[in-house]
Amino acid sequence: MLDPRTVADHFDEVRAALARRSRAAAEQLDAIRPLLGRRRELILKTENLQKQRNSESEAMAELARRGDKAAMAARREALKALSSEVKALETELADLQNALEEQLLAIPNVPHESVPDGESDRDNPVVRTWGTPPRFDFEPRPHWEIGENLGILDLERAAKLSGSRFSVLWGLGARLERALVTFMLDLHTRVHGYTEVYPPFLVRAEALRGTGQLLSLLQI
């Protein structure tokens, strides 16, 4: 999620970067600009009133030491009014923060300045290549055809269970998947200095904020 303070302090730069992604993203940012301005106003006003409240509290303490009950009564009313105003502003600010956060979550991250502009993957430049593409004396088949012919991949059953773009692995296919996972973990923990972690299967919504996946998961 974009940081609201960064967006407020560098609005034009953030908008220009988002416009490189899409006009819709830039327009989404335009829509929250009034909220950003109101947020700043509320923060400044709340902080100023909190300072006044602290000053009133210190003055009350001094009057209590002097035993000036009449002055204390007047100060008490002023302090009560300040506290009520601060509480109202804090409530408004909290509501605004929640609304702002929900809208910021729907806005994509800004692209890095090194990322080239383009309409599709055809506009992506080739940064580097590894190896040489092999040449076959036959027409190679895609992996899904090979997997189904070997009886280790079942896309039709996966579509019934989970929808499109999923797969069910059978027998040697499932063993191959498990072996590849183990190989990857062993390689990176033993050779490349990574630490293996086994986190919980369930997480709080707050843990997913900023990953770019929360809204799509909520829609599911």
Domain definitions of the chain by residue range:
4-105, 144-219
- Max Cα-Cα span within the chain: 102
Given this model, what pLDDT does residue 63 score? 82
- Cβ of 152: how many Cβ atoms within 10 Å? 19
What's residue 219's pLDDT? 56
Whether this prediction's pTM lies above 0.85 is answered by no
CA nearest to 50, candidates 82, 15, 13:
82
User: Strand runs (DSSP E) across the chain, as ranges?
Assistant: 153-154, 168-169
% of the chain with per-residue pLDDT over 70: 95
For the chain, give percent helix, strand, coil, nearest 5: 65, 0, 30
With a cut of 90, say whether residue 202 has pLDDT above it: no
Average pLDDT score over residue span 175-197: 97
Residue range 4-105 forms a domain whose CATH class is: mainly alpha
Residue type, 36: L
pLDDT, mean over the chain:
90
Q: Measured between alpha carbons, how far is 179 from 171 in angstroms, rounded to an integer?
A: 12
- Residue 35: per-residue pLDDT: 95
Q: What contacts 33, CB < 8 A, 6 or more positions away?
A: 11
Q: What tens digit of pLDDT does each residue of 3-56 get?
A: 999 999 999 999 999 999 889 999 999 999 999 999 999 999 999 999 998 888
Question: What is the DSSP secondary structure assignment for residue 168, as one 8-state letter?
Answer: E
Q: What is the mean pLDDT of residues 202-209?
A: 78
Nearest 5°: the CA angle 192, 193, 197 is 115
